[in-house]
Each structure stands twice: as structure tokens, then as C-alpha cells.
Amino acid sequence: MKKLDARSWGFLFVAVVAAAIFLRLGSWQLDRLTDRRADNARRQVLAALPTLQVSGSADLPPLDSLLWRRVLLTGEWDFGGEIIIRGRAAYSSPGVHVVTPLRLKNGQAFLVLRGWLPAADGLSADIRAARPSTLEGADAVTVQITGLALPGEPSSALPPRWKRFDGSRLLVLGSLDFDSAERAFGETLVHAWILPDSLPDLGASGTPRPVQQPIPSDGPHLMYAIQWFAFAAITIAGAIVFARPRRRTHSQRTSA
């Protein structure tokens, strides 16, 4: 029986290289899955630690010690600096997230996700009705908020803009991006936003609906790993199927 010709060897070489690449990509996804699970476990440990009390009377703890921790903030709402995050679906409806700065005694501000409001176009929500009517025209009222400190979101492709909501000119962002917010306001924000456990009853008729805490997820890495391993198996099987008929053809030619 003759040996495989150059074309067959070339095909098998390409198939072996491709299968090796697919296997490596599958292993890489498994490594990412391991890292993701370890990161989720670390975040759960941090969230279970005692609550950090932050009033602004002393220096803030480093950002690394804030993120993924439960914090107790004492400060005053800054509704003039409210931010609207557009295009946030919840409860099977389009809407927005309402993010309000909570200013500490030292003037620094934490962004607090007060909740979700419906908006048919994913933008034009009734913001005025979501504000605490009991505080309108009153002196600043100190409030306490307990919640989870989370990192900012990646920058959105949608550029920041200013929009009027019932007389208020508010910043609209496509994501909770601290850099965009700081450029718009011209001030430095604490790079940790707060997802509150609950908010006090402020007498607002259209209080934003609470946003649920994100559930830790393994992500798509296991599915991707299975796909890459399947591609490797298909490539190897295809190479074997291709090579076998070529061997039979050479054998038949020899006997003829």
C-alpha cells in the first residue's frame, strides 16, 4: 500500500494543528471558569464581612477594601446631581435606573442606585414623581443607607447627554460609568456605587422599584469550553474520514 500523498499529509497537518488550537481554547475557557468561580467565592466572603460604617467624618477606606463589601453610609441626598441610566429593562418592561448621589460630611459623594422606573422609550421616565415629596423645599435631611458597594460599569457606546425631566436638567448615561460622570460634573466621585438593601419611605408617589442584587454566575465559559472541545473532536473525526478513502484508493491502484 502506498503512503499518503502530499495533499493528504497537508490536510492532516492542518487538521491536527486546528484540533490542537481548539483544545487549547477549550482549556483556556476552563481556566477562566475556575477564575470566575474563585472570584465569585471571594466576593461572597467580602459581602459576608461586618458592615463598614462610612460617615465622611474620617478618611474613606481604600477602594479595594470597599468594593463588594456591605457599607453603611450617612449623608444627604443630592437630587440636583441625579443621573439617569437609560435602556434598563426590568419587570418585563423598558425603563431607566435612577442614580442619586449621597453626599457625606466631607463633601464626597457615593452614587446610590435608588431603583428602576418604567419608560416606554427606555429614557423618558417620570423622574419628578420618584423624588421624595417630603423633602421638597425643606432643609437638607441626613439619611442612612445600607447596601453593597459595587464597581463601575464599562463605558457605553452611547455618549453622555443632558436632558430635561419636568424642569430638571439631568445627566443621562448609557452605563454607570464613573469617568463619564466625573467629566460631566467636573468633580471626583467615589468609584463605588451602592446597591441599597432598602430605602426609607420618603413619601414619594412614584418611588423607583428596587433593583435586585446580581446573582453570582459562572458565565458562559463552560459552554464555550464544550464547544471548542466539540470542534476539536469534529476536526479529528473529519481528518480520519478523509484519510481512509485515500488509503483504500492507493490500495486498489496497487492491486490493479
For the chain of 256 residues, list the mean pLDDT of each consecutive stretch of 10.
Answer: 67 90 96 94 91 81 88 90 93 92 89 92 86 58 88 91 87 94 90 85 65 86 95 90 60 50
Name which of 100, 52, 53 is nearest 74 in CA terms: 53
Residue 4's pLDDT is 63
231: cell is 470542534
Residue 254's pLDDT is 52
Contact 92, 116 (CB under 8 A): no
Name which of 115, 86, 81 is nearest 98 in CA terms: 115
**Measured distance CA(145)–CA(55) in Å, rounded:** 10
Contact 148, 195 (CB under 8 A): yes
Where does residue 80 fall: left (phi above 0), alpha (psi -120 to 50 degrees), or beta otherwise? Answer: alpha
Residue 206's pLDDT is 60
Number of Cβ within a 10 Å radius of residue 17: 11
**Measured distance CA(111)–CA(190) in Å, rounded:** 8
Please list the residues that pair with 100 across neighbouring strands.
112
Residue 45's pLDDT is 92
3-state secondary structure of 193: strand
Residue 247's pLDDT is 46
Residue 1's pLDDT is 43
103-121: burial string, b at 16+ Cβ within 10 Å, e else = bbeeebbbbbbbbbbbbee
Residue type, 123: L
Residue 2's pLDDT is 47
Number of Cβ within a 10 Å radius of residue 138: 8
Among the residues of 48-141, which ranges form H helices? Answer: 63-66
**Measured distance CA(113)–CA(99) in Å, rounded:** 4
Longest dimension (CA), the chain: 103
Residue 3's pLDDT is 65
**Measured distance CA(220)–CA(33) in Å, rounded:** 8
Q: Distances from the Cα of 17 to the Cαs of 4, 14, 201, 231, in angstroms?
A: 18, 5, 63, 12
